[in-house]
Amino acid sequence: MGKTMKIALAGEGGQGVQSVAEILAEAANEDGKQALYIPNFGVEQRGGVSIAYVQIGDENIGAPKFIAADILIPLSPRAVQRTREHAGKNTVYIYDNSLIQQAEVNDHIVGLQYFDVTPPNPRSEQPNRDLPQDLIAGEPKTASFMTKSQGVRPEDIPEVKKVIAIPANDIAKNELHPRVFNVIILGAVIAATQILPMDSIKNALETKLGAKFNANPALRDMNFKALERGYELVHSAM
């Protein structure tokens, strides 16, 4: 019985964890694997931490949520606090330890049932411009990557199998573009899980964003570079 890989991603609204999870699950499904993705949703209030649960394996997948994650990726100090219960003895823990810039949350975000809830529904003529765009264009909805904050306190990191800190924010901001922050994370997940070839993810990105990539090939380069950067960061640490 092949083991099902349990992945939990958590971050602030606007960091795009749900998009990462969705692309990951879709890529796994396309790759012929069993995959399940469930977002947490609710009347999220004022920048509630958003968690995405993804499971990938060869067998039918059981409960949609789980307690101990194999890979746990909290992307903000608050996400570190919120995901405590998902850290187990065998968890690989990846967090963002950017030095200069930490995502700052605009605390005005609402109680929307819809927001972190569902992948957007395309409109008839005007395709929904919400989530996928966070990857490449438009201001992230709620996070600004400009301001310093305290960052993750080392004492908050739970005891797990392995801890990997990556400066994804710094890299996005300084080397690439703030908006590919979550694509770096996606690359990191691929490296940590080793269950999907890089090409499947590239294909999935291509499916999602192909039209935009074709209109602006530089975007494709930027995204793929971010993906590889994220991959290397974790791969070299594993």
Partner 1 sequence: MAEVLLQGEQRVFMTGNEVVAWAAVAAKADIMYGYPITPQNEIMHYWTRLAPKHGKRFLQVEDEISAGFTTVGGVMTGRKAFTATAGPGNVLMQESANMAEMMRVPIVYVVQQRGGPSTATVIYAQQETTLTCFGGNGEGHRLVYSTATHQELFDYTIKAFNMAWTYRFPTFVLGDGYQAKMRESLTMYNPEEKGIQLVKPVPLLGDTTKPERQFKHLRNTYNTEDELYKVVMNNQRDWDNMAEKVVEWDEKGCEDAEVILLTHGIVARSAITAYQQLRAEGKKVGFFRPITLRPFPGKELKEAIKNAKKLLVAESAYGQFLKMVQNNIFGSQIEIVPLLRPGVGITTEEIVAEYHKLS
Partner 2 sequence: MQELEEDGILQPAMPSCWCQETKPHKFCPGCGHGIILKVLGEAIDELGIKDTMVFGCDIGCSLLSWDLFSIDTVQTHHGRTTPVITGMKRANSDIIGVAYMGDGGGYAIGSQHLFNAAVRNEKITILLCNNCNYGMTGGQMAPTTLPGMKTETTPYGRDVSETGYPTKGPEMVAAVAPEGAYVARGTIANVRQLKGFIKKALENQIAGRGISFVECLSSCPTNWRTNAKQTWEFVEKDMAGFFKVGELRGSEVKEG
Among 38, 61, 68, 110, binds ligand SF4 (CB under 6 A): 110
Question: Which part of the chain contacts partner 2 (CB under 8 A), choosing from 20-28, 41-49, 52-60, 166-174?
Answer: 41-49
CB count in 10 Å sphere of residue 14 = 24
- In the bound state with ligand SF4, the residue whose beta carbon lies nearer, of 45 and 216, is 45
Question: Cβ closer to ligand SF4: 131 or 168?
Answer: 131
Coil, helix or strand at residue 165: strand
Interaction of residue 43 with partner 1, rule CB under 8 A: yes
Kindly provide the b/e burial profile for residues 46-71, where b requires at least 16 CB atoms within 10 angstroms of the residue's own CB: ebbbbbbbbbbbeeebeeeebeebbb
Give the Å distances, CA to CA, from 1 to 57, 64, 225, 238.
10, 19, 35, 25
Amino acid letter, 86: H
User: How far is residue 198 from each of residues 121, 178, 222, measured CA to CA in Å?
Assistant: 27, 22, 15
Report in angstroms how near the CB of residue 111 gets to ligand SF4 at its nearest.
7
Using rule CB under 6 A, residue 112 touches ligand SF4: yes
Q: Which residues bind partner 1 (CB under 8 A)?
A: 1, 22, 25-26, 29-30, 34-43, 60-68, 113-114, 117-119, 121-122, 124
Q: Which residues bind partner 2 (CB under 8 A)?
A: 43, 45-46, 106-115, 117-118, 121, 123-124, 126, 128-130
